[in-house]
Structure 1
Amino acid sequence: MSSPNDGGEAAITIEDVTHVYGAGTDAVTAVGPVDLTVPEGEFLVLVGASGCGKSTLLRLIAGFEEPTTGTVRAAGQPPRPGRGAGLVFQQPRLFPWRTAGGNVDLALRYAKVPKEERVARVPQLLADVGLRDVERRRVWQISGGQQQRVAIARALAVDNPLLLLDEPFAALDALTRERLQEDLRRVSAATGRTSVFVTHSVDEAVFLGSRVVVLTARPGRVALDLPIPLPRSGVEPEELRARPEYAALRAEIGHAVRAAA
């Protein structure tokens, strides 16, 4: 199944992919078969019940796993772990002995960005995710929501073509989660980076995605592939969520998630 957004160059292609854990009588098919094409600049959200293979599919795209059958390509090449994609997980996974700015600076150092450029870019990256005046604070001195913002800034630090996010807001309180959704949506609109976001939340999927794919219960297959024709910028979050078309999309996706579980 191809993307609803035709015409764009493919950032990700997933062709007839299955993934099996274990062997023999212990074998469990987690995903597949799945076919997806993700054009450049798309914000794809994978949503579905627990155990449907969302995170497995993300790991295949990141190159942490290899498909049992089929092929996965990122920019036309087999994905390699740690190359070509910024990653954000459920937990921030920051270095606690470094400051907030030091964690972002480290990503830039690994990318061989010159020191004088890093000095300017670190505070800007933190500001882009709504963080100011925390650059010199240790990780343990900032809140969980702020730590996750630092993790997003770190993932955005290097100009990778892909941003992959595995339920990054799941452990946060509702208010912090909503604010981070708004920040991520704004940054996504500004950068145009191809993104794949995993979530259980239908509302989060509609708010963030330019396209939503609902997966069935294990083994995960595509149950619904739906473009989200909502403006990506220039509309306040409250206004966007109040629109009738927003409610209609949320209802359609919610129904598909329940039917596929």
Structure 2
Amino acid sequence: MTSTSTSGTAPTTGTAAAVEVEQVTRRYGRGDQAVTALGPVDLRIDTGEFLVLVGASGCGKSTLLRLIAGFEEPSTGRVTVAGAAPEPGRGAGLVFQQPRLLPWRTVGSNVDLALRYAGLAASERVARRDALLHRVGLDGIAHRRIWEISGGQQQRVAIARALAVDSQLLLLDEPFAALDALTRERLQEDLRQVSAETHRTSVFVTHSVDEAVFLGSRVIVLSKRPGQIALDLPVDLPRTGATPDEIRALPAYATARSTVAHAVRAAAA
């Protein structure tokens, strides 16, 4: 495992920055009633990183994700995605805690809709849709209605839909929080594999230390409000060629988990 940093700025790897957050704060309300929820935060996310934001409730994890997505604007500072201001709903694939699928559409047509918005020609959509569903382990159910499949399968559809977006950035806000433990573990494994295959830059929000260390190539711990970077930890674990059990059995996994857990407790104190 590589060295621990609390500066909030990743070591420069020579790759282009996918996301840059510069002296960002986010306040809600006005005057004496104003509350600073986040910041100041400085953060660079390199292309291809899988960055996980973890911390106690109310520390600003989802706020930071919404700023990167362009759904909110900083009170001070600047956020850029691929060198430009983020475009709401366009600059990234998005997966939320609830799948937010269209229940009157089939599994396949939910993904088709995302492909249409991404500008893919109608003649190419079926093959691309089937490839995306295969990638998330949903072969053969494109014809089924959303209400006919399980919650875990619905979240897989949401991930497939997010991957349909013509963007190298994937943003995930506690996508597995409402699922049972077994389904959650399976989807963690699937997402880790998809990340390794696609090399998309990903930002993932969670409360779970285990999830953070298993998924992330880098873990950021945020302090209690106003959320600031309490720990910036590169995680040096194999992204391919090892089973989940083998990864979790590595000494580096145990060390990273202990480091992150300690930081989360200290930051919330």
Hey, what does 2:74 align to over in structure 1? Answer: 67
User: Matched residue of 1:113: which SS?
Assistant: coil
Q: Deviations over 1:32-78 (max 9, x none)?
A: 00000001000000000000000000000000000000000001111
Hey, what does 1:193 align to over in structure 2? Answer: 200
Distance 1:89 1:4 in 2: 29
Distance 1:33 1:6 in 2: 24
Count of equivalent residues: 261
Work out which of the residue numbers 250, 255, 264 in structure 2 matches 1:248. Answer: 255
Deviating beyond 6 angstroms after TM superposition, the runs of 4 or more aligned structure 1 residues are none
Given that 2:50 and 2:218 are in contact with CA atoms closer than 8 Å, whether structure 1 keeps it comes out as yes
Work out which of the residue numbers 102, 105, 109 in structure 2 matches 1:98. Answer: 105
Distance 1:131 1:253 in 2: 33
Distance 1:47 1:119 in 2: 37
Given that 1:96 and 1:140 are in contact with CA atoms closer than 8 Å, whether structure 2 keeps it comes out as yes
Hey, what does 2:5 align to over in structure 1? Answer: none
Q: Deviations over 1:228-259 (max 9, x none)?
A: 01111110111101111101100100000000
Given that 1:3 and 1:38 are in contact with CA atoms closer than 8 Å, whether structure 2 keeps it comes out as yes
Hey, what does 2:21 align to over in structure 1? Answer: 14
Hey, what does 1:107 align to over in structure 2? Answer: 114
Hey, what does 2:213 align to over in structure 1? Answer: 206
Deviation at 1:8, TM superposition (A): 1.6
Distance 1:112 1:66 in 2: 27
Given that 2:108 and 2:142 are in contact with CA atoms closer than 8 Å, whether structure 1 keeps it comes out as yes
TM value normalised by structure 1: 0.98
Q: Which runs of 5+ in 1 are unaligned?
A: none
Work out which of the residue numbers 166, 170, 181 in structure 2 matches 1:159. Answer: 166
Q: Which runs of structure 2 are paired with 1:111-260 in the superposition (5 Å)?
A: 111-260=118-267
Distance 1:4 1:228 in 2: 13
Hey, what does 1:54 align to over in structure 2? Answer: 61
Hey, what does 1:32 align to over in structure 2? Answer: 39
CA-atom RMSD, angstroms? 0.8
